[in-house]
Amino acid sequence: MKQLGNLFDRIIGRINVNLRDFGFDAAAFIRGIIPLKRLLQLNAFLGMTHQHPIHFRFRSSSLAGSYFLGKCLVDHAVLYKSDVRGDELKGKGDQFKFQGLEIPVHDDEVIRIKDAILVKTLVHCYSHDPEFLEELCIQNTASMPYANIHGSSIEGCFLGPFSTVDLTTLHDSVIGAFSYVQVGELSHYRVKPGTVWIKSGDDFEFHYAFSRKTLKKYIAEESDIIPGGLFMDFMDTRKNDFQKLFDLLPYKAPLSVPRNASLNRYALVNGQNHIGENVLVVQRAHLGNAWLGKGSNVQENCYIINSRLEGNNVTAHGAKIIHAKLGRNVFVGFNSFLRGKSESSLEIGEACIVMPHTIIDLDEPLIIPAQHLVWGHIKNAKDLQENTVSIGELSKVKEKLTLKAMTFQGSGSKFIQAFKHRIEHILETNGAFYDGRNNKGHAQKKQYISYHIVQPYRKGPKKGFYPSIEIRS
Amino acid sequence: MKQLGNLFDRIIGRINVNLRDFGFDAAAFIRGIIPLKRLLQLNAFLGMTHQHPIHFRFRSSSLAGSYFLGKCLVDHAVLYKSDVRGDELKGKGDQFKFQGLEIPVHDDEVIRIKDAILVKTLVHCYSHDPEFLEELCIQNTASMPYANIHGSSIEGCFLGPFSTVDLTTLHDSVIGAFSYVQVGELSHYRVKPGTVWIKSGDDFEFHYAFSRKTLKKYIAEESDIIPGGLFMDFMDTRKNDFQKLFDLLPYKAPLSVPRNASLNRYALVNGQNHIGENVLVVQRAHLGNAWLGKGSNVQENCYIINSRLEGNNVTAHGAKIIHAKLGRNVFVGFNSFLRGKSESSLEIGEACIVMPHTIIDLDEPLIIPAQHLVWGHIKNAKDLQENTVSIGELSKVKEKLTLKAMTFQGSGSKFIQAFKHRIEHILETNGAFYDGRNNKGHAQKKQYISYHIVQPYRKGPKKGFYPSIEIRS
C-alpha cells in the first residue's frame, strides 16, 4: 500500500503547510487513527433515490466504510467510515439570499472533498458561505472521529474528535476536540478543546468552555494516540452490531413504519420501538426501545435508547439520548450526550433547546422545565441551575448574561429567534410537516433508497484505492 | 415500471424486424421469462482486480443479478442474471491473426451490449470476427436461459435456452434450444433445436441432431411459457443456495486453496472438496464433493458433483459432471450434461473429447476409453458405441464418417488438430501451465477480486433501471 501511504503523506504535508502558524503537525494525530487493514475490508455505500439528483465522482481516493448521498465529488482523499450527504444542496437557478442580497446559483451545487482525510466524519447540508455558491469544498484538511462538518467550506484545517463546524467557513484553523463553532467565518484561528461558540455578527454571541477535567473524562485526545474517553467507548459498544447490518445485502424492516416516515436500512434497531408519522431515522442511527412521535428525526450517529420523543423533535447529528423523556419540539444539538439511568431518568419539557455539545450525565433524576435553554455539563439539579436559562428570560437580555462558564452577549431575542427559525427549517427539511401532499422532506424522500456498494483494489500498486467511479441518474 | 416496459417493447420490436424473414415473434418467448419484481430485488456485480484492465459503462439499462468483469459497455439493454466476462479481450497494439493476415488492433477491445435482452446468459472471450476487432457487439438480440455467447458478435438474433454460439458471427438468425454452432459466420439462418454443428470452411464439418423426444425431456421450450425440462429443473435445485452467497458481503473461503489457484467467492461449495494447483473455479460454479486435479478449470454454471477430475481438465461454460471420474486432459464441452449415479458411475479415459452439448445420462455404469470423442445422447454402453469414435480413427477420416445422427465431413486430422489446439489454448489462458513465474492465467489473476455491487432505482419513472455508471481503473 505504498501509493496509499504516499497519499497520506501528501495530505498531511498540505495540512501542515496551512497550519504552519501554529507549528501544527497533523501526522501525530493521523498516524494510527485508521487501521490500514480495514481500508481493504470495508466497502463504500452510495445511496440513490429517484427523489435526489445524484452525481458521484470518485478519483484516486480511499472510501472505506463511507456513505454518500446526493452530489459528492472526491479526489485524492481518504474517507474512513464517513457520511457525506449531498442531499440538501442548492440547485441550479436557486436564489441564494444573504444579508438582503440575492445571488443566483448558476449550477447544481456539489460537495467536493479534495486532499483530505476524514475519519468517521459527517458532512452535510449546503455551503452557507456566499462566496462558495456551487461547491461545498473540504480541502487540505483532516478531521478526527465523529467530527461534523455542516454547511461549512473548509480549507487547510484540523478538526478534533467530536468537534462540529456548523455554518462556518474555515481557513487554516484548528478546532479542538468536542468544540462547536458557528461563527460564519474563521481564519488562522485555534479553538481550544471543549469550546461552544456561536456568533452572529454584532447581533449575539454565545460562549461556553468545558473544564479540562470534564473533557478528559468524555473525550481525551493527545497526539500519537487514538482518541479515548467515554464518548469513544460508547461509540465502540455497538460497532459490531452495526457491522452486521453493513454485511448483509437483503433487508427486512425490523418494525412497521408509516408510509410517510423512513427508517434507513443501515440504522441499528433493537428492542421495542415506535416510529410515528413523518419520522426520519437515517443511517448509522441507533434505536433501542425508542418511542418517536410524529415529525421527530434521528440523524447520523445518534442513539435513542430507552427514551421517548413526543414529536417534532430534532436530534441533530451525533446526539445521544438515553433514559429520557423529551416533550414536543425539544431540540437536541449536535453531539450532545444526554444520559439518564433507569433509576435517575431525564425529563425535558416542551420546546426546550439543548445547545450543541451539551453533556447531561445523571446520577439522580432530573426534570428540565419547558421552554428552557440548557448547555454545558449537567450531572444534577444543582448543575442545571448553573447551566440553564428560560427562553423567556434569555429573550429579554439586551447586552450580556453570564452564568459560570457561559457568557452570552448581544440580543437574546435575536438569538432565540434565529434558533427557532433554524429548528423550524430543520423540521421542514426533514419532512415533519408533510401533510400527504405538501412539505415533503427527507422522511418522505428517503423511503426507497438503493445502495451501490463499492470496494477498493485488494492487491497491486493501487491497493486500498477505489477505481475511478462516476454515477449519474 | 412503464419506462422499463417500453424498453422491453423497443428491443422486441428491433429483434422482430431483424427476424421478419421467419415471421418470428420474440415477444412470445420473452414475456414472462423475467419476473419483473426480481429486477428490483437483485443487484449487479462488477468484478475488478489489479490484473484486469477495466472499463464498465452502463446506461439506460437493467442489470439485475448480472456479473461483469473486464471491459463491458451496456446501453438500452436488460441483462438478467447474466455473466459478461470481458477478461480475454484484445488489447490495443495486439496483432489479430486471421488466415495468414495480421491486422493491428487500434484500441482496447470492449464487449458492447446494446438493445438486447440477455437472460442467464454467458458472454465471454474476444470477438473472433476479423471484421469486428475492437468490439464484441451484441445488438438487437435476445437470449434465453443458459445460452452461451462465446467470442461471437451477434446482431438481430434470438438464441434459445441452453444454446451456444461459439466463435460465430451471427446476423438475423434464430438458434434453437440446446443448439451449438461454431461455423464462423451465419446470416438469415434458423438452426433447429438440438443441433450440434461445427464447420471450418472446407476443412471439416461436424453435425449432430438430438431427437425431438430427447430434447423434450431435457429442454422443453414453447412460446409463451418459460422453458422447462430436466435441465431447467436441475439449475433450479441450488438457486436458493446461490442466492445466499450473493446476499452476504464478507466472505470466508470454505476450503484451503493453493496460492496459484482461485476459487471465486460466488462459487457454491458443499461437501468435501479438493482444489489442486493452478485450478480455476469461477462465479456461479458449484462444487459438491469435487476433486479437482492440477490445472483443471470449472467455468460459469458448471456443476461438479461427487466427481474427480485428474488434472488439466477443461469444463466449459455450463457443463455438469455428476458421479464421474475424468482422466487427465479430458475436455468437456459447453453445456454438456454428464450424469452418472452412485451405483452407475461414469468413467472417462485420458484425453477424451466430450463434444459440446453432449448428454450422458446413465442407468448403468459406463467407461469411455481413453482418446475417444463422444457426442449426442448416451444412456448406456450400446448408445456409446453409436456416439463415439476413437481420436485415432477420426484422424484417419478424409471425406466422410456417418454414425446414426452424426455426420462428419472433411479432414478428421484437421478437426482433431484444431480441437487439441483450442483445448491447449484454453488451459493456457486459464493458468493451467503456470510455473510460479511464467504462463499466468485466470487461475492466478483472479485471486484478489473486488466486487462493486450496484442496484436499480426502486421507485419513480426510472424504476428498475440502473443509473449511468462509469468505472475505470
B197 with B175: CB under 8 angstroms?
Answer: no
Spatial distance between the Cα atoms of B146 and B161, rounded to a whole number of angstroms: 6
Does the distance separating the beta carbons of A455 and B451 come in below 8 Å? yes
Cβ separation A455–B459 shorter than 8 A: no
- How many Å lie between the alpha carbon of B352 and the closest alpha carbon of chain A? 38
- Is there a contact between A249 and B54 if contact means CB atoms under 8 Å apart? no
- Measured between CA atoms, how close is B74 to chain A, in angstroms? 14
Nearest Cβ partner of A453 from B48, B453, B458? Answer: B453
Task: Based on the fold, state whether residues A146 and A211 are members of the same structural domain.
Answer: yes
Q: What is the mean pLDDT of residues A280-286?
A: 98
Radius of gyration of chain A (CA): 21
User: How far is B4 from chain A, CA to nearest CA, in Å?
Assistant: 15
Residues A155 and A172 in one domain: yes
- Collect all residues of chain A within an 8 Å Cβ-Cβ radius of residue B450: 455-458
DSSP at B134: S
- Please, which pLDDT band fits residue A224 given cuts at 50, 70 and 90? confident
- Report the pLDDT value the prediction gives residue B224, as an integer from 0 to 100: 74
B35, B15 in Cβ contact below 8 A? no
Q: Is residue A406, in this structure, part of any structural domain at all?
A: no
Query: B243 near B260, Cβ under 8 Å?
Result: no
What is the CB neighbour count within 10 angstroms for residue B276?
A: 18
Q: Do residues B265 and B216 both lie within one domain?
A: no
> What is the distance, to the nearest Å, from the Cα of residue B81 to the centroid of all Cα atoms in its chain?
13
Strand partners, A114: A75, A139
* Chain A residue with the nearest C-alpha to that of B51: A460
Residues B34 and B135 in one domain: yes
Mean pLDDT value of segment A451-456: 97
Same domain, B29 and B139: yes
Q: Which cell goes with A111? A: 460537495
Task: Tell me if A191 sits within 8 A of A174, measured CB to CB.
Answer: yes
Tell whether A43 is covered by a domain: yes
In a domain, B407, yes or no: no
Q: Which three cell numbers stand for residue B341?
A: 449415479
Report pLDDT for A1: 85
pLDDT of the residue at A206: 98
- Give the model's confidence band at A273: pLDDT under 50 very low, under 70 low, under 90 confident, else very high: very high
Helix, strand, coil share (%) of chain B residues, nearest 5: 20, 35, 45
Question: What does DSSP assign to residue B21?
Answer: G
Task: Give the three cell numbers for residue A184.
Answer: 460564519
Please report residues of B whose CB lies closer than 8 A to that of A49.
Answer: 457-460
Q: Which helix (H) or strand (E) holds A191?
A: strand A190-191
Same-domain pairing of A102 and A177: yes
Mutation target vs A (from B50, B73, B252, B449; most A CBs, 10 A cutoff): B50
Find the CB nearest A472 among B43, B455, B468: B468
Q: Do B48 and A449 touch (CB under 8 A)?
A: no
- Rounded to the nearest angstrom, the minimum Cα separation between B350 and chain A is 38
* Strand pairing class (B468-472; B55-59): antiparallel
Chain A residues with beta carbon closer than 8 angstroms to that of B246: 249
- A463, B50: Cβ pair inside 8 Å? yes
Q: Please write the tens of the pLDDT for every residue from B417-460.
A: 999 999 999 999 999 999 999 999 999 999 999 999 999 999 99
- List the grid coordinates of B231: 435441465
Q: Which residue pairs from B269-272 have beta carbons closer than 8 angstroms and sit at least 24 positions apart in sequence?
A: B270/B241
DSSP sequence for B413-446: HHHHHHHHHHHHHHHHHTTTT--SSS---HHHHT
- What's the domain count of chain A? 2
Give whole-number Cα distances, A372 to A23, A273, A322, A330, A395, in Å: 42, 28, 19, 10, 11
Confidence of residue A31 (pLDDT cuts 50, 70, 90): confident
Whether residue A77 lies inside any domain: the answer is yes
C-alpha cell at B63: 442489470
| CA separation for the pair B198, B183 (Å, rounded) | 5
Q: Do B43 and A248 touch (CB under 8 A)?
A: no
Query: Contact at 8 Å (CB) between A337 and A180?
Result: no
Could you tell me if B226 and B282 lie in one domain? no
Q: Quick one: how far is CA B380 from the chain centroid?
A: 27
Out of B246, B248, B454, closest to residue A452 by CB: B454
Considering the domain boundaries, does residue A240 fall inside one?
Answer: no
CB contact under 8 A, B473 and A471: no
> Do A460 and B49 lie within an 8 Å CB cutoff?
yes
Residue from A41, A242, A471, A472 whose CB has the most chain B CBs within 10 Å, to mutate: A471
Cell numbers 499466468 correspond to B440
Q: Do A49 and B457 touch (CB under 8 A)?
A: yes
Q: Which residues of A touch B48 (CB under 8 A)?
A: 455, 457, 467
The answer to whether B430 touches A21, Cβ cutoff 8 Å, is no
d(CA B41, CA B34): 12
Integer CA distances (angstroms), A130 to A71, A96, A97, A166, in order: 19, 8, 8, 15
Chain A residues within 8 A of B461 when measuring between CB atoms: 50
Contact between chains at B250 and A247 (C-beta distance less than 8 A): yes
- Say if residues A269 and A275 touch (Cβ distance below 8 Å): no
The least confident of A97-101, A148-152, B204-208 is A97-101
CB-defined contacts A:B, below 8 A = 108
What is the DSSP secondary-structure string of A6-57?
A: HHHHHHHHHHHHHTGGGT--THHHHTTTS-HHHHHH--EEEEE-TTS--EEE
Positions in chain B short of pLDDT 70: none
Q: State the residue range of the domain holding B350.
A: 254-395+412-445
Residues of A in contact with B62 (CB under 8 A): none
In a domain, B102, yes or no: yes
Indicate if the pLDDT at residue A223 is higher than 80. Answer: no
Write the residue in B50, B246, B456 that is nearest to A460 by C-beta.
Answer: B50
pLDDT on residue B32:
86
Nearest alpha carbon to residue A40 among A21, A9, A62, A57 = A62
Q: What is d(CA A346, CA A85) in angstroms, rounded to the nearest whole number? A: 31
Q: CA-to-CA distance for A465 and B410, rounded, in angstroms?
A: 55
Per DSSP, B248 falls in state B
In chain A, the residue whose alpha carbon lies closest to the alpha carbon of B53 is A467
Give the list of residues 6+ apart from residue B32 with CB closer than 8 angstroms, or none.
Answer: B224, B225, B226
Taking residue A331's Cβ as centre, other Cβ atoms within 10 Å add up to: 26
CA–CA min distance A264, chain B (Å)? 14
The CA–CA distances, whole Å, from A431 to A85, A319, A422 equal: 16, 19, 14
Q: How confident is the model at residue A132 (pLDDT cuts 50, 70, 90)?
A: confident
Do residue B473 and residue A462 have CB atoms under 8 angstroms apart? yes
**Which tens digit of pLDDT belongs to each residue from A284-293?**
999 999 999 9
Same domain, A211 and A255: no
Q: Does B65 lie in the same domain as B41?
A: yes
Query: What is the DSSP-derived secondary structure letter of residue B192?
Result: P
Can you read off the three cell numbers belonging to residue A224? 500519537
CA distances to A225, A302, B259 from A322, rounded to whole Å, are: 29, 11, 50
Distance CA B99, CA B423 (A): 20
Query: Looking at beta carbons, which residues of chain B come within 8 Å of A473?
Result: 462, 467-468
Distance from CA of B249 to the nearest CA of A (A): 5
Asked whether the beta carbons of residue A467 and residue B54 sit closer than 8 angstroms, the reply is yes
Q: CA distances (Å), B83 to each of B36, B63, B161, B282, B446, in order?
A: 19, 10, 15, 11, 15
Record: contact A49-B459, CB cut-off 8 A: yes
Chain A nearest-CA residue for B449:
A458
Residue A420 class from Cβ within 10 Å (0-12 exposed, 13-18 middle, 19+ buried)? middle
Measured between CA atoms, the residue of chain B closest to residue A460 is: B50
Nearest CB partner across the interface for A448, out of B247, B459, B468: B459
Residue B240 in domain: no
User: What are the φ and ψ backbone dihedral angles of A288, each rounded to 5 degrees?
Assistant: -135, 95
- Which one of A448, A462, A469 has the shortest CB-CB distance to B458? A448
Distance CA A154, CA A125 (A): 13
Q: Which residue of B457, B462, B463, B465 is the best one to mutate when testing the A interface, meaning the one whose CB has the most A CBs within 10 A? A: B457
* Res. A222: pLDDT tops 80: no
Q: What angle do CA B9, B10, B13 make, to 5 degrees?
A: 85
> Of the candidates B221, B227, B230, B218, which has an alpha carbon nearest to the alpha carbon of residue B377?
B218
Whether residue B333 contacts residue B355, with contact meaning beta carbons closer than 8 Å, is answered with yes
Residue A213 carries which DSSP code?
H
Taking an 8 Å Cβ-Cβ cutoff, which residues of chain A contact chain B?
A: 41, 43, 48-51, 54, 246-250, 447-463, 467-473
> Does residue A459 sit in the same domain as residue A425?
no
Question: A31-35 contacts: CB < 8 A, separation 24 or more?
Answer: A31/A224, A32/A224, A32/A225, A32/A226, A33/A119, A33/A144, A33/A145, A33/A226, A34/A78, A34/A80, A34/A117, A34/A119
Cα B28 to Cα B31: distance, rounded to the nearest angstrom = 6
CB contact under 8 A, B467 and A48: yes
Residues of B with CB under 8 A from a CB of A: 41, 43, 48-51, 54, 246-250, 447-463, 467-473
- Please choose, from the candidates B404, B246, B261, the residue with its C-alpha nearest in 3D space to the C-alpha of residue A453: B246
B355 and B460 together in one domain: no
A272 and A230 in a single domain? The answer is no
SS3 content of chain A, % helix, strand, coil (to 5): 20, 35, 45
Residue A408 lies in a domain: no
CA distance A60 to chain B (A): 9
d(CA B41, CA B248): 14
For chain A, what is the mean pLDDT?
96
CA–CA–CA angle B144, B464, B71 (5° rounding): 65
Q: What share of chain A has pLDDT > 90, as a percent? A: 95
CATH number of the domain where residue A294 is located: 2.160.10.10
